[in-house]
């Protein structure tokens, strides 16, 4: 089989990632905050930049916002011409076996994280994806995707405090964590970063005990690096894992 090049698109609730997946490597990655509804021009630019006059075999779309899938199909046709579009769901051939009561309800990003994680790191595996929601996806030693955990993501927690209180500010989720909150911003930043580590530790411990095995831990998503920095937890940070996983699913379908 020759070189397989795909444009991969990860449509999230607050932002969209676009990249080129070529022989297991992700490049030309762009992120568009607001996605195609708010920034159609920037999404078109990201699509063109990812393809970059390459001979791509198709576009793999992983979306957790079904209402925009038709808009993405139109954009792909307009920008890339007669290009195949694969919309990810649990019925496609994958690197994992989906062992789940309602497979149609699994988000495409979670399937991509599991497939990309197994391809790069093997199994058993837990992938923590730090996005609008924080998701944990579990792959057993025999490479079955069996589900996981969903909890509110960092931006949901901090934005809710800002939106639902009179005096608390919007927290900037970056920079070092102070030893003590000497301002409202600092106090909230400690609560976000240190408190979130507690959530992650407890969920990983719970999943590990329930499955009776030692998992490889992988983290991805926009807030993973900041949330886990200096935490001492044995996570491997892989920022492009979801896009890579979409490419893995595309390979299985188009091989």
pLDDT digits (tens, 9 = 90+) for 130-188: 988 999 999 999 999 999 999 998 888 888 787 888 888 888 877 787 889 888 888 88
- Residue 248's pLDDT band (cuts 50, 70, 90): very high
Q: Cα dihedral sign for 61, 93, 210, 241?
A: negative
pLDDT at 188: 83
Task: Determine which of 47-61, 76-90, 129-143, 185-199 has the lowest per-residue pLDDT on average.
Answer: 185-199
Q: Does the predicted TM-score (pTM) go above 0.95?
A: no
Query: Is residue 191 assigned to a domain?
Result: yes
Q: Specify whether 43 is located in the same domain as 124.
A: no
d(CA 172, CA 166): 18
pLDDT at 178: 80
d(CA 197, CA 219): 12
Q: Specify whether 52 is located in the same domain as 123.
A: no
Q: Specify whether 68 is located in the same domain as 21.
A: yes
Q: What is the mean pLDDT of residues 77-81?
A: 92
d(CA 110, CA 10): 11
Q: Is the separation of the CB atoms in 220 and 239 below 8 Å?
A: yes
pLDDT at 148: 96
Query: Is residue 178 assigned to a domain?
Result: no
Query: Is residue 99 assigned to a domain?
Result: no
Q: Which residues are catalytic?
A: 109
Query: Is residue 171 assigned to a domain?
Result: no
Query: Is residue 92 assigned to a domain?
Result: no
Any alpha helices (H) in the chain, and if so which ranges? 35-38, 40-51, 69-80, 108-121, 154-164, 184-211, 224-228, 241-254
Is the pLDDT at 119 greater than 50, yes or no?
yes
Q: Specify whether 21 is located in the same domain as 70.
A: yes
Q: Specify whether 33 is located in the same domain as 143.
A: no
Q: Specify whether 149 is located in the same domain as 36.
A: no
Query: Is residue 134 assigned to a domain?
Result: yes
Structurally, the chain folds into a number of domains equal to: 2
- Domain containing 79 — which CATH number? 3.30.420.40
Print burial letters for 191-229: b (CB count within 10 Å at least 16), e (below 16): ebbeebbebbeebbeebbeeeeeebbbbbbbbbbebbbe
Q: Specify whether 25 is located in the same domain as 126.
A: no
pLDDT at 1: 47
Query: Is residue 102 assigned to a domain?
Result: no
Q: Specify whether 195 is located in the same domain as 138.
A: yes
The domain in which residue 232 lies consists of 118-154+183-240
d(CA 72, CA 173): 30
């Amino acid at each position: 089989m020759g070189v397989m090049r795909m444009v991969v698109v990860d449509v999230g609730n607050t932002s969209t990632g676009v990249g080129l997946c070529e022989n297991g490597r992700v490049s030309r990655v762009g992120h568009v905050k607001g996605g195609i509804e708010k920034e159609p021009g920037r999404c078109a630019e990201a699509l063109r930049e990812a393809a970059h006059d390459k001979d791509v075999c198709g576009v793999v779309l992983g979306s957790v916002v079904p209402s925009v899938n038709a808009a993405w199909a139109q954009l792909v046709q307009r920008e890339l011409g007669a290009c195949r579009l694969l919309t990810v769901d649990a019925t496609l051939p994958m690197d994992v076996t989906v062992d789940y009561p309602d497979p149609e309800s699994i988000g495409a990003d979670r399937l991509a994280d599991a497939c990309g994680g197994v391809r790069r790191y093997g199994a058993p595996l837990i992938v923590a994806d730090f996005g609008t929601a924080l998701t944990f996806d579990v792959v057993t030693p025999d490479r079955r995707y069996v589900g996981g955990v969903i909890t509110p993501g960092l931006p949901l927690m901090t934005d809710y405090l800002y939106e639902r209180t009179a005096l608390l500010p919007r927290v900037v989720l970056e920079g070092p964590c102070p030893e003590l909150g000497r301002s409202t911003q600092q106090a909230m930043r400690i609560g976000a970063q240190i408190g979130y580590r507690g959530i992650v530790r407890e969920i990983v411990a719970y999943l590990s005990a329930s499955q009776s095995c030692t998992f490889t831990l992988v983290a991805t998503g926009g807030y993973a690096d900041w949330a886990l920095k200096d935490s001492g937890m044995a996570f491997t940070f892989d920022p492009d894992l979801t896009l890579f996983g979409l490419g893995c699913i595309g390979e299985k379908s188009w091989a």
